[in-house]
Amino acid sequence: MSKRSGLEKLATEHAESAKMNVQYIPVQEKDSSFFVHVHHVAYRKIIEEMFGWDECFQDKQTNQAFDLGGINVIKLQNEKVGIVGWEDRSDYLWLKDLYVLPEYQGRGIGSRVLDTPIQKARSFGKDIHLRTLRANICVKEWYERRGFIVDEITDIHWKMVMYT
């Protein structure tokens, strides 16, 4: 894909996402299985590639993340399409989760969802930090197209920041 067509796709995605009525519903206990499902669908291939997949371990890790709170179900036209979670820390906003189910990807939903924590961070005068797995190059590049830069590289993660 040429740089121009990539920019055109991003502009189209953004225009479509502006029309969406995306809702954020704070998770309840009944949403834990959806959270686990979305995480596993979004990350299984990458985790298998990096570490191998251990279903029990992944269930435990994902349930622990759910129990920490600050998670919202993303709904579009009353359909659950993903998960987003952020945490307001003392000097930055931590984007801890953003998963959109594969069948809803490529429609600008993720971009629309990302706008909310970006606006919150700007209103607080804070930067946004996140991390994604090193093997998840497509997601790293997706965040870069939206203004994030790599701040640190570990053996496992790209640590990224958006200076607001």
Residue entry with tokens 């998670």: 71
- Strands 149-153 and 157-162 turn out to be antiparallel
Range of the domain at 110: 3-162
Strand order in the sheet with 157-162: 22-26, 71-76, 79-88, 92-100, 127-133, 157-162, 149-153
User: pLDDT tens digits for 96-150?
Assistant: 999 999 999 999 999 999 999 999 999 999 999 999 999 999 999 999 999 999 9
Neighbours of 78 (CB within 10 A): 7
pLDDT in tens, 7-51: 454 444 544 555 689 999 999 999 999 999 999 999 999 999 999
**Euclidean distance between CA atoms 141 and 6, whole angstroms:** 12
- Residue 18 confidence (pLDDT): 55
Contact 96, 86 (CB under 8 A): yes
| Count of the separate structural domains present in the chain | 1
- The residue-averaged pLDDT of 76-89 equals 96
Q: What is the CATH number of the domain that holds 64?
A: 3.40.630.30
